[in-house]
Structure 1
C-alpha cells in the first residue's frame, strides 16, 4: 500500500492521554496521522506525520486544522477522532457561569465546530468515519457532574443526528463513553491509594479504564471492522452504566 492509499485521520486533543495513545496505535497500522493541539511543544512527542497548532474550540481553529491537512495531503482526512475534553466535578449551585461556559466550549462546541469543518472538507470525497469521546456521566446520573453531563449529553445527541444526516454519503459517526480513565487529566483523582480503591470499587469489572482500552475501541470504530455501525455510543466503563457491582 502506498502512502497515498493509506487511511488518513485527524486526531484532536492529541496531547492528552487517549489522543496520544490513539495516534500511536493508528500510526503503527500505517495510517497517515495528523494531530492537533494548542501547544506545539506538547505535540512533539506524539507519533504523527503532521502536527497542527490550532484551537478547535473555535470555528476558525477547527477550519484551520482541516485546511492544514488539505494543504499537506491534497485532501481532507478520511477519518476524524475528536478527543478534546475537560471535566468539572462540582454541584451546579456552586458552579460559576464562566466555568459552565468553559465546559460547554471545550466539550460540546469543539465537537460541533470540528465535525462541521470535517464534513465540509469531506463533501464529495467518499466514505469516512468519525469518533467522539463522551462520558459515562451522560448515560447515568453521577452526583456533582451536572455541567459535564450536560455537555457530553449534547455531544451524544449530536452524534446520533449527524449519523442520520450523513449516512447516505457513507460517513459513519460514533462515540465512546468511558468511565474514569487513567490519564494525566485524572491523575489528581487517583493519586492517593484510598481514592484509587474507592474508584475501582464502583466498576463491576474492577479497576479503572486505561487510555489504551479506550483508544482501542476508538480505533475499531474508525476501522473497516465496524463498517455497519453508525450513530452508536459505546460505553467503555467496566459495566458501570449497565450493571451493579457485586459488593463483598
Structure 2
C-alpha cells in the first residue's frame, strides 16, 4: 500500500519543494494551508484548507486527509512557520503570542491529531525549528522561544512513542531562499551579508532543505528519532577560517 504524507504549510517554499520530492518517491501527498487557493500549483494529490494552530483545525486537517485519500497519513511534515526579527523590548505581547501560536501551538496540535489518527501504528514525523533555537542570534527572542519549544516537544514525543515505532525529528534551517525571506534577500547587501555568515557560503535553497526532510521521513533514517538536524551550512557549530 502506498504511504500517505501530510504536509502542513505546503504552500510555503520548503513545504512545496518537499511535496514534489515525496511524490517523486511514490507517496501520495496531502497539502494543508489556511488558504487552499495557495495550493493550486503545489504538486499534491489532495488540497486541504485548515488553520492548524487550533486543536479543531489540526483534527480537521487530518480527518480531511483520511477521507480524501482513504487512510491516515503515516508521514507528517509540519512545515508551518513565521519569523520575527525584533528585540525583546520592542516585541508587543500580541505579536509574541501570535509567534507562539503559529510556530509552537500548531506543532503541538498537529502532532496530537496525527498521533490520534495513527491508532497505534508506526509512522514518521518531522518538524521545522530554526538555527536561532540552537545558538543565540540577536533580536530573535520571540521566535527562538517558539522554536525552542518545538525542539523540546520533538524530543519528548520521540521518547513517548518510540515503542510504537513512531519516529519524531526536526530540522533547524538557516537562512533559506523562500517566499518568506524574499524581501530580505532581494537587497544585494543583505543577501551578501547573510551568505557570509555561513561557513559553506551563500544562501541555501528550499529544495536543499526539503531533501533533508525527505530523508528523515524515509526508511534510510529508520534508526533516527528525537534528533534536531541543523541544515545551516555549519552556522551553529563551526566558524570558517578568516583570510
Return the TM-score normalized by structure 2: 0.99
Residue 89 of structure 1 aligns to a residue in which SS? coil
Q: What is the CA–CA distance in structure 2 between the aligned matches of 1:39 and 1:114, rounded to whole Å?
A: 17
Q: Any runs of at least 4 consecutive aligned residues in structure 1 with deviations exceeding 4 A, and if so which?
A: none
2:208 to 209, 213, 216: 213
Q: Structure 2 CA distance, aligned partners of 1:96 and 1:239?
A: 32
Unaligned stretches of 5+ residues in structure 1: none
- Give me the whole-angstrom Cα distance separating, in 2, the residues matched to 1:102 and 1:244: 33
| Equivalent of 1:27 in 12, 23, 29 | 23
SS at match of 1:140: coil
Q: Does 1:56 align with 2:79?
A: no
Cα deviation, residue 73, structure 1: 2.9
Quote the offset at 1:43 in angstroms.
0.5
Distance 1:88 1:195 in 2: 16
Alignment correspondent of 1:76: 72
User: Matches of 2:169 and 2:110 in 1, distance apart?
Assistant: 14
What is the root-mean-square deviation in Å for CA atoms of aligned residues? Answer: 0.7
- 1:235 corresponds in structure 2 to 230
- 1:209 Cα deviation after fit: 1.6
Tell me the CA shift for residue 142 of structure 1.
Answer: 0.1
In structure 2, how many angstroms separate the alpha carbons of the residues matched to 1:118 and 1:214?
A: 23
Question: Does residue 234 of structure 2 align to residue 246 of structure 1?
Answer: no
1:89 aligns with 2:85: yes
Q: TM-score, normalised by structure 1?
A: 0.97
Whole-Å Cα distance in 2 between the matches of residues 178 and 208 of structure 1?
11
Match 2:36 to one of 40, 43, 51: 40
Q: Give the Cα separation in 2 of the matches to 1:145 and 1:81.
A: 24
Q: Is 1:173 the equivalent of 2:168?
A: yes
Tell me which residue corresponds to 2:107: 111
Query: How many angstroms does 1:117 deviate by?
Result: 0.2
Task: Count residues in correspondence.
Answer: 243
- 2: CA distance, partners of 1:142 / 1:55: 29
Any idea what the Cα deviations from partners look like across 1:80-115, whole Å, max 9, x if unmatched?
A: 000000000000000000100010000000000000
